[in-house]
Amino acid sequence: MILPLRAALTALLVTLAAPSDAADRALRLRVPPEVVRGVAAMPKIRDPADDAERRINAALGRLDASVRKAAGACRAEGGAHSSWERSVVAPMRGPRFLALAITDSSFCGGAHPNVGTMAIVYDLTTGAPIDWTALLPASLTGTVALDTGADGTRMVTLASRRLHALYLAAYRPRAGTSGSGEKSESDQRSRSDGDEEACREAVTNTSGERPPAMMAWPDAKAGGLAVQFDLPHAVQACADIVMIPTATLRQDGASSVLTDAIDAAHARRPAP
């Protein structure tokens, strides 16, 4: 009886370990054709290794269906001059997490187009969106809420004073470098001192006494946590993405599950 029991336990351990092994790999993604013209489809996991990855692909398919419906409603409302464009990037492709940053630009009639960003981060061990409260301390999650993206998709936002303070500390450094020491995209654009100060004012004073509802996602290239929040149309150009290094996250009490995964993904990237 001992040997069959031992064999059964071994088989069980192998089964339990399999999802973790799959989650530790670097994902290969495939990009399907556009949903409609100008609207990028969500990238899908190529050759999904387990049920978790298959659940993620199914969820990404539902996102494509949502934007297809929204773009159709936009055309019906705005007529011939309406438009909808979407771009998607995958700044983290394992281990442990798949992060997707989605930017929609739509014009469905009215005074001006609408531009918005959504961030969705999946846990590769479960196939579900991550629980930020399990990865970041309460000081960084603040008030966790659901916001609605341009196509009706619900996304998680974090309204935290500490997270906002870290964002502001790294926002458009006056010395001309990003918080990571690299030239930021925003620094490469020419701006007057007045424009810079106007943007600093816009991202600092967002909702009176309340911190803004912020989106966050891990970024392998930068080796940190990307943070952004949307602003009114008049100052939309000020809505930069800011990176918080893993060293700072650790100091603030972030889970090693998150910081170690980001560091591992960053180390895997080929040298420039």
What are the residue ranges spanned by the domains of the chain? 21-268
pLDDT (0 to 100) of residue 270: 62
- Rg (C-alpha) for the chain, rounded Å, is 21
Which DSSP symbol is given to 118? E
Tell me, rounded to whole angstroms, the distance of Cα 88 from its chain centroid.
10
What one-character DSSP code corresponds to residue 150? Answer: T
Which two tokens mark 220? 């392998």
Q: Would you give the distance in Å from CA 90 to the centre of its chain?
A: 8
Give the CA-trace dihedral at 19, 122, 222, 143, to 10 degrees. -130
Cα of 71 vs its chain's centroid, Å: 22
Give dist(CA 230, CA 211) in Å, integer. 12
| pLDDT tens, N- to C-terminus, the chain (272 residues) | 444 545 544 444 434 444 456 778 889 999 999 999 999 999 999 999 999 999 999 999 999 999 999 999 999 998 988 999 999 999 999 999 999 999 999 999 877 788 889 999 999 999 999 999 999 999 999 999 999 999 999 999 999 999 999 999 999 987 554 444 344 444 444 456 668 888 999 999 876 678 999 999 999 999 999 999 988 888 888 999 999 999 999 999 999 999 999 999 999 876 54
Give Cβ neighbours of residue 61 (< 8 Å, ≥ 6 apart): 42, 44
Beta strands 215-219 and 29-30, pairing class? unpaired
Q: Which CATH superfamily is domain 21-268 in?
A: Fervidobacterium nodosum Rt17-B1 like (3.30.565.40)
- For residue 80, CA distances in Å to 70, 71, 74, 186, 215 come to 16, 13, 10, 33, 33
Q: Is 82 exposed, middle or buried (0-12, 13-18, 19+ CB in 10 A)?
A: middle
CA distance 211 to 205: 9
Sign of CA dihedral 164, 215, 100, 58: positive
Residue in 237, 238, 265 with CA at minimum distance from that of residue 121: 265
d(CA 114, CA 260): 36
pTM reported for the whole predicted model = 0.83
What is the C-alpha to C-alpha distance for residues 86 and 106, in angstroms, rounded to an integer?
A: 9
Residue type, 119: A
pLDDT of residue 192: 61
